[in-house]
Amino acid sequence: MCFPGWTITLVLFCLCGSANSFPYTSAHSLPSQITPPSPLPTNLPFEHSPFLSTPSSTPPFTSSSGETTNGDNCHLKMSPSVLVVRFGDPVKANCSKEGAASPLLGWEGTQGSSGPTSAAFLVWSLDRITEWSMKPSCYELLDLGGSCSIELPLIVYQPPDRVSIQFLNHTGALFEGHRYTLQCTVHDVAPVENVIVTFYKDQTALGQLQSCNKSQTPVNESFTLSITPCKPDNGSRYWCEAKLELGPEGPLHPPVVMSQKLTALVLSSPQLVQSKLQVKNTSKCDMKTNPQAFGGSGTSNRFKGWFLLAALLCQIVIQL
């Protein structure tokens, strides 16, 4: 009669001991994709009664499935849906519950982690953002066990410090018909993949280029464009501009930085110069030889005239 009683007592002691020794997980140590706690017995200890104050760390909710869900399966709403902020500026975003209520709501990120809270919404904010690559996410722990989270798309940007232009591997005048390479360099810009560079000749756009560099920190990036100037391009000014295009969630007027302007001195090519010199020399020779073709110089013509006059006078004297 005593042995069954001792067996029941030992089982209850083991269950209570395991429940009380289950470790709490701090909200600041939660990963961006929340991993649900290990399954526990269906009847939770009395410490997790909803009538008690919310603990400062994430409680061990029971999960029958142990699943972590994301995106469309979460009853969470992010505002704004995409956040674009300049490096060093303040930042703020709101996460709220949608539909079925959840016991706890929190933010997880490299800066500004907060929660968990039983409120219907939770704001994530920083006085100034000082990290280039951040992935803040909002999470909820579900009533029926498990958890879900959604990540806030965050773009941290910095306009170009300056933009410069030059001819690559060339200085001095340009020759018509020759090919040259313009190089436009954008200095200290992030993210560089959002930069659109446009080359200009005076007010005419020559082409647009965009980088495939995925760096999220400020970098210097160079863009090149080949041109073949003509003689009418003499005196034209070549320049470029860099526009940081951040989409509809970005600044109303995207940052635009212009380079200095290069004034082109376009000369005829050496072959054309040589041809023109040959034509010019030939015309001078023609001018020297042409008078001989019409009977010699003016001095010889005068002597011939006096000789004919003398011969005519002699003939008149003889007849008399």
- Give the CATH number, domain containing residue 250: 2.60.40.10
Number of domains in the chain: 2
Examine residue 274 and state whether it is found in any structural domain, yes or no. Answer: no
Shared domain check, 67 and 101:
yes
Q: What b/e string do you get for 110-139 counting C-beta neighbours within 10 Å, with b at 16 or more?
A: eebbbbbeeeeebebebeebeeeebebbbb
Last residue of some domain: 156, 171, 202?
A: 156
The domain in which residue 252 lies consists of 162-267
Q: Are residues 29 and 152 located together in one domain of the fold? A: yes
Q: Tell me the whole-structure pTM to 2 decimals.
A: 0.61
Tell me: pLDDT of 159 over 80. yes
Domain closes at, from 267, 289, 305 = 267
Considering only residues 319 and 31, tell me which one the structure prediction assigns the higher pLDDT: 319
Q: What gap in Å lies between CA 224 and CA 226, rounded to an integer? A: 7
* 288 is a domain residue: no
| One domain for residues 198 and 93 | no
Tell me, yes or no, whether 280 lies in a domain. no
Q: What is the mean pLDDT of the segment spanning 21-45?
A: 36
Based on its alpha-carbon atoms, the radius of gyration of the chain, rounded to whole angstroms, reads: 44
Q: What is the pLDDT of residue 119?
A: 85
Residue 181 placed within a domain = yes
Establish if 149 belongs to a structural domain.
yes
Residue type, 213: N
For residues 190 and 109, membership in a common domain is answered with no
Over residues 262-279, mean pLDDT: 71
Question: Is residue 181 located within the same domain as residue 91?
Answer: no
Q: Residue 216 corresponds to which tokens in the numbers above? A: 């999220």
Same-domain pairing of 191 and 87: no
**Residues 121 and 215 placed together within one structural domain of the fold:** no
What value does the mean pLDDT take over residues 45-49?
35
Q: Are residues 34 and 146 in the same domain?
A: yes
* Bigger pLDDT: 140 vs 11: 140
Q: Which burial class, exposed, middle or buried, applies to 107 when counting CB atoms under 10 A from its CB (0-12, 13-18, 19+)?
A: buried
pLDDT of residue 38: 38
- pLDDT at residue 44 in the model: 37
Same-domain status, 126 and 196: no
Whether 289 maps to a domain, the answer reads no
Q: Does residue 132 form part of some domain?
A: yes
Residue 78: strand pairing partners? 95
Does residue 305 lie within any of the structural domains? no
Q: Tell me the per-residue pLDDT of 252-263, one tens digit each, with 9 for 90 and over.
A: 999 999 999 999
Q: What is the number of alpha carbons within 13 Å of residue 121 lying toward its C-beta?
A: 10
pLDDT tens per residue, range 97-129: 876 555 788 898 777 777 788 888 899 999 999
Helix H or strand E segment including 309: helix 298-319
Q: Is the pLDDT of residue 302 over 70?
A: no
* Residue 58 reports pLDDT greater than 90: no
Q: What percent of the chain has a predicted confidence (pLDDT) above 90?
A: 47
Window from 68-82, 175-189, 190-204 with minimum mean pLDDT: 68-82
Residue 56, pLDDT > 60, answer: no
> Is the same domain home to 140 and 178?
no
Mean pLDDT of 37-41: 38
For 294-299, what is the mean pLDDT? 42
Residue 238 has pLDDT above 70, yes or no: yes
For residue 2, pLDDT beyond 60 = no
